[in-house]
Amino acid sequence: MKARERADIAHARRVVVKVGSSSISGDAAHRIDTIVDAIAAAHGGGVEIVLVSSGAIATAIPFLDLGGRPNDLATQQAAAAVGQNVLMWRYQTSLDRFEVLAGQVLLTAGDLENPTHRSNARRAMERLLGLRILPIVNENDTVATHEIRFGDNDRLGALVAQLIDADALVLLSDIECLYTRPPDEPGAQPIRRVAFGDDLQGFEFGSVVVNSVGTGGAATKVSAARLASAAGIGVLVTSADLISSALAGDDVGTWFAPNPAPATGSATGPIRAANAALPADRL
């Protein structure tokens, strides 16, 4: 059933979960087990889960002795090729504890704009879910260019949720919920629920963050949540450490209520317009 409120996530048939680089790379790599524990529990209860996972480039950094996130496209692509392999190995090693098999799905923005490629991607993920395999989706950083990127995997998560008609989208972050301004600033108040159509312009979500391991931040999560909710998909933004509570429908995080009357049509229209506004050094 479509999740109209966060408690409905517990009864959803199909959920997309997105996790960012900072939550699973470097000293946070141990959190993969926490995420897999929650996903495996939901999977065991019959829920169809699609995991959208960043982290390929961040995972490769220590193996390649780069000292930090590379700035040039060729090195980013090379790091992605190495890191994606290690990242999938880490997920599968953790999933082996529950005898769950993962399937890798790498996408570019062009794949979701091209009707044939989009149909192929949908069919592949539907078949993986039908076989009770966990699709793990990431942007295909090895071949993507600055001009045709999703911009961040929060947006990719929103588009995948639309592609497979998910009942809910869970965007995992480093903090428990969104705030009216950066949470370390005086006067910051937690935002627990955003009704569809609410005006958020008075809030200060900050600029997009490009750090040593990835890209994203509160602003990208708000943008992705609005994109998915406009298509009729409820979105929960919360901490990666609270994934079990999120999938159980507990009162955590920030809930973006879905559009009660979403329009039908392509989910990919915003991609190129959004990417056109991205700085050249964004991933």
Binding residues for substrate: 54, 141, 153
**Which two three-digit tokens encode residue 257?**
């209520």
Continuous H helices in the chain: 21-24, 31-44, 56-64, 73-95, 109-113, 115-130, 153-163, 218-230, 243-247, 270-276
- Rounded distance between C-alpha atoms, residue 283 and residue 268, angstroms: 18
DSSP state of 277: T
- Rounded distance between C-alpha atoms, residue 273 and residue 283, angstroms: 16
Do the Cβ atoms of 250 and 239 come closer than 8 Å? no
User: Which residues define the annotated binding site for ATP?
Assistant: 18, 173-174
Judged on CB neighbours under 10 Å (0-12, 13-18, 19+), 119 is: exposed
Tokens 């995992």 found at: 172
Tokens 């390929």 found at: 56
- Rounded distance between C-alpha atoms, residue 170 and residue 184, angstroms: 24
Task: Spell out the SS3 assignment of 109-136.
Answer: HHHHHCHHHHHHHHHHHHHHHHCCCEEE
Do the Cβ atoms of 12 and 47 come closer than 8 Å? yes
CA-CA-CA-CA dihedral for 155, 54, 145, 266, to nearest 10: -30
DSSP assignments along 10-39, one per residue: GG-SEEEEEE-HHHHSGGGTTHHHHHHHHH
User: Which residues define the annotated binding site?
Assistant: 18, 54, 141, 153, 173-174
Do the Cβ atoms of 265 and 258 come closer than 8 Å? no
